[in-house]
Amino acid sequence: MTKVYGFVAEFNPFHNGHKLFIDKIKQEYHPDVLIAVMSGNFVQRGDFAILDKWSRAKIAVENGVDLVIELPFAYAVEPAQYFAQGAIKLLHLLGVNELVFGTEQKLDFDDLAQKIMQADVEFQQDYRLSSADNLTQHYQALGIDISKLPNQLLGLNYVTQIAEQNYRMNVNTIQRLESDFSATEIRRRRAQNISFTDLVPEATYNAFETQRIVTWDDYFPYLKFQILSHSVGELQTNYQMVEGLEFKLKKEIEQSHNFTELVEHVKSKRYTMARIRRLMVYTLLNVKESDINNVYDNPYLRILGFDDVGKKYLNSLKKSDVDLITKVGKKEQKKLNLEIQVDDIRQLITEQEQNFGRIPYMKGVN
């Protein structure tokens, strides 16, 4: 049986910790194929990916990943449960039989996943709307501390999704070291014009030198326009605009001079900073619940990059019913409608096409 290993990543940006993680997978498990499902141009915490999806996919393939698949926006910019739901579903569609993820501590994830599945169903259904305190307390009641261990939370949700959906996928973990946590440090150093060459492969550093980096500062005027030009009723139709947040946005935008100020004014004990930032993304992009549901109901596999091993594996998948997308034409445009919509906003600043005419990066492919 082919050993198909898969993992989930954002690579925001790809750093030496990621390279170490990939090397450890190959050394410990010897996969026949290694697949990464990677967030596109927006990441889970409600931010623009620091480098575009094509650059990050290329760097991943150059550093040992055989195949990179895009995690659609509809899953990528969501709380851990729904982020995991989409990622694991795509890995399942790809025929992955071995999941691997990094973890801060060695835990019995299968046992913890069973506890989560047996927890209050109503709470699980309200997961998107739960406050940070409620979510933390809920997990603590199950004997799980997620307050400072983000990878633990994602890992638990990955394993829970496998169990709930009865996917035939084994779970493997790689112990994360403190030195692995460098994505935030890279972004901090770059913002302060401090060298970070010791933290990233040369390809990542070169991408920073050649690519226009976008941040919320670039898009605050667009966000402000969306909030001011739409009525309260219109704002209310945006995805996850609940509990009067549209009134709060209307009020606070008037006294906010930049994105950071707006988030600070809107946040409360009820909502995590990430939750508010995700809401800002939905507002900027005018995303509706129907847009999200359309992606959930019509899954696809968008290929961003592969090597020769990945190509051979893709050829074996073409015989199945999996919808593989390597380029955007008329047929694919409807299915990728939301992704094209959200990528277009990046192009406003970078002027780099993200969909039409783009093909996957191919390394050493004959």
**Residue 360 marked in a binding site:** no
- Contact in structure between 96 and 158 (CB atoms under 8 Å): no
48 SS3 class: strand
Q: How far apart, in Å, are the Cα atoms of 92 and each of 68, 112, 167, 364? A: 14, 21, 7, 26
**Residue 228 marked in a binding site:** no
Q: What residues contact residue 65 under an 8 Å CB cut-off, 6+ apart?
A: 22, 34, 35, 36, 305, 310
Q: What residues contact residue 360 under an 8 Å CB cut-off, 6+ apart?
A: 57, 68, 303, 304, 305, 306, 326
Which residues is 8 bridged to in the sheet?
37
**Residue 13 marked in a binding site:** yes
- Contact in structure between 160 and 99 (CB atoms under 8 Å): no
**Residue 17 marked in a binding site:** yes
**Residue 12 marked in a binding site:** yes
In this structure, what token pair is assigned to residue 366?
A: 């004959």
In this structure, what token pair is assigned to residue 325?
A: 């997308």
**Residue 247 marked in a binding site:** no
**Residue 176 marked in a binding site:** yes
**Residue 20 marked in a binding site:** yes
Beta strands 4-9 and 98-103, pairing class:
parallel
- Contact in structure between 242 and 129 (CB atoms under 8 Å): yes
**Residue 8 marked in a binding site:** yes
**Residue 19 marked in a binding site:** yes
Alpha-carbon distance of 158 to 317, in angstroms, equals 23
Specify binding-site residues for ATP.
Answer: 8-21, 102, 151, 176
Specify binding-site residues.
Answer: 8-21, 102, 151, 176
